[in-house]
Structure 1
């Protein structure tokens, strides 16, 4: 006989109860109300949603139970602030999408302060994906940490954009190219250690040059790296080679590989688990967890749990 199990608290769109929200803190910047705009697609078509419901019913709620277990992994206790760097094996692999998903899910399920950092070598889309109302240069945050005392959470996020659910974001929109201004090791060490004093997790979009000097600076203080690659045999070989190189240079950084499917390569064979193609994510723009497809929701939550557990082992 199938029994109903309540989903883990705080996961948007699951169950009849509204997600629990952290108490309002007037001293911490709050995101402005989102302007009205076109309704974005759900990640699943109506046929896919029906198929999911039928499959879940036939398997006695196995898929729902899988989501609940994944959410529990995201809620697991952690030690000090964890730092997770997301790197891609190629441009367009999905590093920014994965970074935004990790930050959104951590902030929604754990309901503790989380910061997402766009540390790519160009003007990225991370802040847009997270719904930030304005650009917040990472250089301004670094300058603040060098020149002003940082004693409480509002100090740490005064130069970051509030994105809701205790998620904050900052980026490198003022840096035109990696060759012009790569992040220095000592500079990043100082800022990442300061963020970890106030944030449960710092999630960093490191771009698509995993073996560069820029990525090395980010990985020097990381607890875990999520390595994102497209499907296909050539990409799998490339990803394996990169993982070997990173393991030799950063043996203490735990690795979490993920293959992200796109509209063009959603049917290519992959080794191991892959993140499914999702219409909502493919549209770009602000990420809304409630619009994720059911399988995307499970995959994203499982990936977030794996990344957090890996970071906690470091």
Structure 2
């Protein structure tokens, strides 16, 4: 047996007889006064009478909450910018679609118009309707963009410093696409001083030229009067030819071009100008000052891309920076293959300088250099021209002017 006390035998077993080692230490609980003297008087708050309404609570400064006052809403008509037609920034108010056919009846699913979807639709007795394919939907979307409403006259200048890149071809095909898709009148003016060939892209209906139009400008009062000086193709594109004699056409000055526009703007919604290769030509200043959109044409070759870039450099250096930023670059494949030129780098170069870059593939029908028929073009070429027309039509909203 150990000599240790009983309370020291086990530290793990709790016992009421166990006394902590520090029980008698100074300041321990034995030295604390745990009980008060019963003969002492209780604190005054213990014996105070309880108020009849409870213990008072000190007031709190809180602002009275007033009920909200209902104010009827005041109708204010929406503001759509300048309200006077013709002012810069004028915008049409958005249409009310609450009572539209689509809102009331829902949009019906179109039946497929081409491809295997169409065969499946009619082969299943019109029970399986997969709708239009992605290509058809894309084409309908671009067509709707080309058909965007236009007020006044919109002028498009097509130019390039280098010949042989298909500038006249792009002018004719772009104008033909716009004329065939839209319902208004479209005309292309040949402003090339070196015997332009724009009139050869449509069937020749009259030997009259821009000189004859200017000679008789005072007597032109109706559209039928202008129609006597133009030739129209199957796409409804009209062409105003230039003089075949370079010596005579060289006299086509800026004043002559402005007078020509004054006549055409009264009867046409779109005027395309096929510019010459010389930027210092006398009429070029008027063409650039009157143009709403600029289309710069380049080929897929090295010299063609450099010439198109030099055209933009010249415009930048002569105060046309805004026109360059809003221009459209067209890379036209005038040959079946573009050799070893990296077209991605060419496209990237013009993307940094222009609003958009479009590529028109090579087409044997365009290589012929004769009259252009849109039906004779390859589907890829027609799709590229439709996309080019939609990109050009994107600028219609910001350039509306009174006629």
Shorter-chain TM-score category? 0.7 to 0.9
TM-score with structure 2 setting the length: 0.58
1:249 aligns with 2:322: no
Structure 1: gaps (5+ residues): 8-14, 16-59
Highest Rg: 1 or 2?
A: 2
* C-alpha contact 2:211 2:243 (8 A) present in aligned 1: no
Structure 2: gaps (5+ residues): 1-108, 119-131, 348-357
CA-to-aligned-CA distance 1:239-265 (integer Å, 9 cap, x gap): 223213324433454411111012254
C-alpha separation in 1, matches of 2:237 and 2:306:
35
Partner of 1:176: 246
Correspondence list, 1:10-49, <5 A: none
Partner of 1:167: 237
CA RMSD of aligned residues (A): 2.7
Correspondence list, 1:68-217, <5 A: 68-145=140-217, 147-148=218-219, 150-177=220-247, 181-210=250-279, 212-217=281-286
CA offset at residue 216 of structure 1? 2.4
* C-alpha contact 1:232 1:269 (8 A) present in aligned 2: no
Partner of 2:342: 269
C-alpha separation in 1, matches of 2:243 and 2:302:
34
TM-score with structure 1 setting the length: 0.73
C-alpha separation in 1, matches of 2:369 and 2:228:
27
* C-alpha contact 1:127 1:171 (8 A) present in aligned 2: yes
CA offset at residue 140 of structure 1? 0.6
* C-alpha contact 1:127 1:135 (8 A) present in aligned 2: no
CA-to-aligned-CA distance 1:37-71 (integer Å, 9 cap, x gap): xxxxxxxxxxxxxxxxxxxxxxx833333322222
CA offset at residue 131 of structure 1? 2.0
* C-alpha contact 1:123 1:175 (8 A) present in aligned 2: yes
Partner of 1:300: 385
CA shift in 2, pair 1:75/1:6, >3 Å: farther
CA-to-aligned-CA distance 1:64-84 (integer Å, 9 cap, x gap): 333222222211111211111
Correspondence list, 1:58-69, <5 A: 61-69=133-141
C-alpha separation in 2, matches of 1:292 and 1:285:
13
Partner of 1:24: none
CA offset at residue 293 of structure 1? 0.8
C-alpha separation in 2, matches of 1:308 and 1:211:
28
